[in-house]
Amino acid sequence: MEEKVTIVGVRFDGAGRVYSFNPQGAQYAPGDDVIVESEHNIDIAKIISGNHEVDKSTLLKPLKSVIRKANAADLETMARYTQREKDAFTIFVEKVAEHNLPMEPVKTRSTFDGKKMVFYFLAENRVDFRELVKDMAQQFRFRVELLQINARSEAQMFGGMGLCGRAFCCSSYLSEFPKITLKLAKGQSLSLNSEKISGACGRLMCCLSYEEDAYRHLRRVTPAVGEFVKTAQGRGTVAESNMMSGMLKVALERNPAAPQPFHRREVERMNPRRTEAEG
């Protein structure tokens, strides 16, 4: 029998990846602020999923621990760091300009113990920022870490409203970014106009992936234009196909100039162009 382990899911920022932590026997509920042991320091995080069991084999590496629930003093400490983060960001912008580096400062974040500040930036390519780090390390009394992010991560950090009128999925509930390609838009018969299928970050919208399983099923069961089918009125070739409604227009062999309407359930496919493997 597979060994079970009790974990909680925590998130370090308002949105983003959810990490598994060891609750060390304590009970936590979604929304609780907690002090945790991260890779190299003590940090504050929020419980996203409370105590639950998982198979030990599903964990990729040993769990870090939740130390305790955060109290009012802890939250006040993080609030005081807000001004320090703003001041550090100003210096970050100035130093990037001094070193003439092709990077765009985005945000700063202090760890709970105050020993490290993470500086997030955008850049099209990898940037050699070693001299910048040395310069900034002399400026501050804490450890400096620079972290390159992409446009999706920036949108996740700051949030906003999508074309649908709702808060960005990435900043409200997504734990990880799904893999999005133009193939998804094509398979859903969407316009390939980048303005209509791109989010505020300039990348393809994450929601293109949400209904892909349903579209893949519909593509498998709906005859495509050009397919040869058998109907109650005879055989013919599909002239029009609407996979959402299932309605087809079939040019029958006896009268191809006047395609007749049929539902996909009313025809038998003679030479299916799509297989389950092709999706």
pLDDT in tens, 179-230: 888 999 888 888 888 888 998 888 999 999 998 999 999 999 999 999 999 9
The whole-number pLDDT of residue 273 equals 63
Q: Which residue has the higher pLDDT, 189 or 88?
A: 88
Is 80-149 assigned to CATH 3.20.20.370?
no
Q: How far is CA 158 from CA 6, 12, 54, 94, 100, in A?
A: 32, 14, 32, 22, 26
Which of 104, 109, 106 lies closest to 84 in space, CA to CA?
A: 109
DSSP 241-259: E-TTT-EEEEEETTEEEEE
Joined together, the tokens standing for residue 51 give 């105590």
The whole-number pLDDT of residue 1 equals 67
Residue 15 has pLDDT above 80, yes or no: no
The whole-number pLDDT of residue 274 equals 55
Q: Strand 228-231 relative to strand 268-269: parallel, antiparallel, unpaired?
A: antiparallel
Average pLDDT over all residues of the chain:
89
Q: Which residue has the higher pLDDT, 177 or 64?
A: 64
Residue 277 has pLDDT above 70, yes or no: no
Same CATH fold, 220-269 and 80-149? no
Domain boundaries, the chain: 4-70, 80-149, 154-209, 220-269
Any idea which fold 220-269 has? SH3 type barrels. (2.30.30)
If you average pLDDT over residues 16-23, what whole number do you get? Answer: 88
Residue 70 has pLDDT above 60, yes or no: yes
Encode pLDDT of 221-270 as tens digits: 999 999 999 999 999 999 999 999 999 999 999 999 999 999 999 999 98
Which of 233, 174, 222, 226 lies closest to 201 in space, CA to CA?
A: 174
Residue 13 has pLDDT above 80, yes or no: no
Residue 57 has pLDDT above 70, yes or no: yes
The whole-number pLDDT of residue 99 equals 96
The whole-number pLDDT of residue 275 equals 46
DSSP 172-215: HT-SSPPP--HHHHHHTT----HHHHB-TTSSBPGGGGTTHHHH
Q: CA 218, 224, 225 angle in degrees (round to 5)?
A: 150
Encode pLDDT of 114-170 as tens digits: 889 999 999 999 999 999 999 998 888 889 999 999 888 888 888 888 888 888 888
Please state, in angstroms and rounded to a whole number, the distance separating the CA atoms of residues 239 and 237.
6
The whole-number pLDDT of residue 238 equals 96
Share of the chain above pLDDT 70, in %: 95
The whole-number pLDDT of residue 262 equals 97
Residue 87 sits at φ, ψ, to 5 deg, of: -65, -40
The whole-number pLDDT of residue 14 equals 66
